[in-house]
Structure 1
């Protein structure tokens, strides 16, 4: 979801404060809507509303903490930020522990508030986008094996729907890892054929056994064959034969495959009898077969017989908009396979995925999803070395948060141990929360 679609809902009973804050938000290009009472905001809230809530604590009727509780009950992932003019430190700590994203004491620094609101907006946009993708995944299951919303994938699905229930031979073109076998499975799934989908990688089969593996063999055809052997093509009778990397098929056997295509029949190795076979042939390649034919590396007549219908699969870099949906789908598969539960990917990771070129295409993306679930996904390039002020800021933060932990969130005791005023400590705690999301 586009972050500009997220609106800030300001709940503030003081008319002057509310109008001033609304003006500040609007001048900062943050869409905002004001409410004078918490009850009004609750009545206006719809499920999965694209909003973040900024509320005063001390208000007549329902106060900010009660509003926080109600909002958390409706949507635990809805960001809520609270304002108070009373310097109530225990209340601030309690609110953060109850789920408030941030807490500000009036008067506050506008830039700090705006930074925190923008982080809340980013978080809300990511949550809603992940929910949308999950719904889309649920809707797509059982309908197609090809996930995606891009025009290329939509067109490919339409082409598959148009030809799936025919007997036409199909040639699938695409780089390694683009999902050519998924296209073959989609064609078989939509064909209505009762037989099997038999997949063969032509490059992986050694030439010495290619003929017997594909066409079968009669007893005595070669040493060790004492009974009839049924080949891959016959196993696909009544179904679909998928020939992946067909450019790897030996030239001397391409004529026999051409006969299968032309006559729907084959001869087993060592036999003379024609065996009828009703198998739909789907082939796939990552090379230019027409150029290979011109170079004498592939039979031209077989190429033209296969090339009745051509389906071209785009590389992942040309359908980047599908990456979040695919990644989430692969995460769900990996969670089930490895019995792991992991949080959804954050915006930074999704952006990294969108920026990659993916030479291994969808297969490489699937491996990344598995690494994410297993907790071994390689880290992004490290950030540049910190400046001295940044190092000092982090050191101060660590010391103060350690003091708060030792004092069990007692601000007065922590401030005394650190030798700083309570007000200074609270200001620093708020600043650390805004900067890094550190827990109080």
Structure 2
């Protein structure tokens, strides 16, 4: 099968078919020329990857009738109509009927080739989006959180999760910040017999050292100053379910000793109590550092490392599975569209290329944030994807006041777009006085006429 883009050219005049076939073949297209539109219909299908060029004034089925029949097969199939009898009214009606474009004879060869190239790009994007949606639907049919990706690494990860999910083995997750460690843990939980019980997540790096033991193991009244009542700790709350300990490398050494004992004995004592409380739970620990190396530097207990390292799952960074980026971005766009009740803009091939070449230091979390920004701001508010990504890249390099200004400008631009440049409605929506709105628009170079 030819790898050249397919083009179907329909015209009842032989010399026109021959001339335009040669033009498009020289441009690198695979051309099939026909004189009757009805004979071309059987060649079309919902997933046909090409473009149709059809003369309007041809014997039998004319171009407009062919267009309508083609749309019954696939409403998104690009059909370019041509005519030597065209006028403005005919062109407008053709576009309204769903034609991709209308070209009046005689036309320059370059005009035809450029129009076909644009139509083929649109067709390729349409089929890619359909493929992504079908794959997302297939993955969404799986109960529980979805681990999305078609790369070999993600296929192995899903396979391993299925293999170990319904066991009691503790798991150690390795992955950079933003790779989705909690999502993987939730998937383990939801695919296990423990899914009817609690899923409890603790970020060890976010809990102060003097509170972490109470947070994890609970306490009795009077166990320490300020302990007025009994507290059920996270371990006890997760009994029969799953406990997720994120950033385990941040856990203070004395607490690591306590944790090792709990993992070995499957029982806890609340602070201030001597009573053992038996536990039946799975522990999933996550880290973004090499715990083996940390243990060799005496920064993490070696015995705890080996106790946690029963089953290890490694989540690859996004830059190492770039083939998953279009699928993930499409997924996040749909989620953002539903969350913000906005129409989902479809990125073009150049924007997809931009996504594929970005280094993604923030991994999947960064990609999700870009999708949210694209749905909220996007081209409709004067932002292109490149600008949005540059803003994300620069966030860590700018000061807090600059970040506040960037966010404030985005909010004002968003409301100006929603209110179509109406300043009275914009200031009411933002809850600020008219003078404040004028001052900020002047500061950020915003002109209401650009949004009308």
Normalised TM-score (structure 2):
0.80
Partners of 2:88 and 2:3 lie apart in 1 by: 33
Matched, 1:167 2:168: yes
Residue 27 of structure 2 is matched in structure 1 by 28
Q: What pairs with 1:262-273 in structure 2 (closer than 5 Å)?
A: 262-273=264-275
Residue 121 of structure 1 is matched in structure 2 by 120
Question: Could you tell me whether the CA contact under 8 Å between 1:256 and 1:266 is conserved in 2?
Answer: no
Residue 149 of structure 1 is matched in structure 2 by 150
SS at match of 1:220: coil
Partners of 2:188 and 2:96 lie apart in 1 by: 53
Matched, 1:66 2:72: no
Question: Could you tell me whether the CA contact under 8 Å between 2:337 and 2:344 is conserved in 1?
Answer: yes
1:322 to 321, 324, 330: 324
Q: CA deviation at 1:53?
A: 0.7
Residue 340 of structure 2 is matched in structure 1 by 338
Residue 304 of structure 1 is matched in structure 2 by 306
CA shift digits 1:249-291 (9 cap, x unpaired): 1111111100111111111111112211111111000011111
Question: Could you tell me whether the CA contact under 8 Å between 1:53 and 1:80 is conserved in 2?
Answer: yes
SS at match of 2:336: helix
Matched, 1:380 2:386: yes
Q: CA deviation at 1:15?
A: 3.0
Partners of 1:87 and 1:282 lie apart in 2 by: 69
Worse-superposed segment, 38-47 or 240-249 = 38-47
Question: Could you tell me whether the CA contact under 8 Å between 1:246 and 1:283 is conserved in 2?
Answer: yes
Matched, 1:183 2:189: no
- CA gap of 1:379–1:189, structure 2 versus 1, over 3 A, is closer
Alignment root-mean-square deviation, CA: 2.0
SS at match of 1:38: coil
Residue 18 of structure 1 is matched in structure 2 by 17
Partners of 1:205 and 1:365 lie apart in 2 by: 27
* Runs of at least 5 residues in structure 2 that lack an aligned partner in the other structure: 389-452
CA shift digits 1:314-351 (9 cap, x unpaired): 11011111111111111111112111123322222222
| CA radius of gyration, larger in | 1
Residue 435 of structure 1 is matched in structure 2 by none
- RCO greater where, 1 or 2, for CA within 8 Å and sep 6 or more? 1
Q: What pairs with 1:151-230 in structure 2 (closer than 5 Å)?
A: 151-193=152-194, 194-230=196-232
Question: Could you tell me whether the CA contact under 8 Å between 2:12 and 2:35 is conserved in 1?
Answer: yes
- CA gap of 1:88–1:220, structure 2 versus 1, over 3 A, is closer
Q: CA deviation at 1:214?
A: 0.2
Worse-superposed segment, 178-187 or 134-143 = 134-143
Q: CA deviation at 1:87?
A: 5.2
Partners of 2:86 and 2:197 lie apart in 1 by: 74
Question: Could you tell me whether the CA contact under 8 Å between 2:218 and 2:233 is conserved in 1?
Answer: yes
Q: CA deviation at 1:165?
A: 1.3
Partners of 2:87 and 2:246 lie apart in 1 by: 69
Residue 108 of structure 2 is matched in structure 1 by 109
Normalised TM-score (structure 1):
0.82
Question: Could you tell me whether the CA contact under 8 Å between 1:6 and 1:125 is conserved in 2?
Answer: no
Residue 403 of structure 2 is matched in structure 1 by none
Question: Could you tell me whether the CA contact under 8 Å between 2:318 and 2:364 is conserved in 1?
Answer: yes
Partners of 1:217 and 1:248 lie apart in 2 by: 22
Partners of 1:239 and 1:283 lie apart in 2 by: 14
Worse-superposed segment, 235-244 or 98-107 = 98-107
Q: CA deviation at 1:86?
A: 3.5
Q: CA deviation at 1:195?
A: 1.9
Residue 248 of structure 1 is matched in structure 2 by 250
SS at match of 2:159: helix
Q: CA deviation at 1:73?
A: 4.4
- CA gap of 1:27–1:217, structure 2 versus 1, over 3 A, is same
Question: Could you tell me whether the CA contact under 8 Å between 2:37 and 2:61 is conserved in 1?
Answer: yes
SS at match of 1:83: strand
Worse-superposed segment, 14-23 or 279-288 = 14-23
CA shift digits 1:389-428 (9 cap, x unpaired): xxxxxxxxxxxxxxxxxxxxxxxxxxxxxxxxxxxxxxxx
Residue 92 of structure 1 is matched in structure 2 by 91
Q: Aligned residues, how many? A: 380
Residue 8 of structure 2 is matched in structure 1 by 9
CA shift digits 1:12-33 (9 cap, x unpaired): 1223332332233223221122
